[in-house]
Amino acid sequence: MFGITPFERRSYDLFDAFRDMEKDFFAPDMSCRTDIRDEDEKYVMEAELPGFDKEDIKLDIDGSRLTLTAEHNTDNEEKDKDGKYIRRERRYGAYKRSFDISGIECDKISAEYKNGILTVDLPKKAAEIPESRRLEIK
């Protein structure tokens, strides 16, 4: 809440704390953090998906677009002897990201999910060397 800037030099609005609270409540950080490394012959994409099972994650290829979708729903219910809820907690999480894979060999893409990290190997297409030839002059 307090920055390292002296109070006199900073513009302070009393309602900043309320705006931050509203932003955090209605729009929490639900991003799927993704790193992409270039390893010469391929790209390696690593996406953080903690708490998801492998069955909750889908990778779809549509033309030159790779779409990563992850969705899960967790219910914890505790009922008393009459079947009434004592405690009920629900958690829902969903991510969806798309990536351009126009320079990738789509048939050779592979993926592995381990310890909350989805690793996708994206092999690059071989560079096409333009064919050179001599034209006949008429």
Distance CA 68, CA 116 (A): 14
d(CA 57, CA 47): 11
Q: List pLDDT tens digits, range 102-136.
A: 889 999 999 999 999 999 999 999 888 888 888 89
- The tens digit of pLDDT for each residue in 28-84 reads 455 678 999 999 899 999 999 888 889 999 999 998 999 999 988 766 666 666 766
Pair of tokens at residue 44: 């390696």
Look at the pTM and tell me if it is higher than 0.75: no
Q: Reply yes or no on whether the pLDDT at 24 is more than 80.
A: no
- Write the CA distances from 65 to 59, 107, 128, integer angstroms: 10, 13, 21
Name all domains of the chain by residue range, CATH numbers in brackets: 31-123 (2.60.40.790)
- Quote the percentage of the chain above a pLDDT of 90: 38
- Decide if 68 contacts 118 (C-beta within 8 A): yes
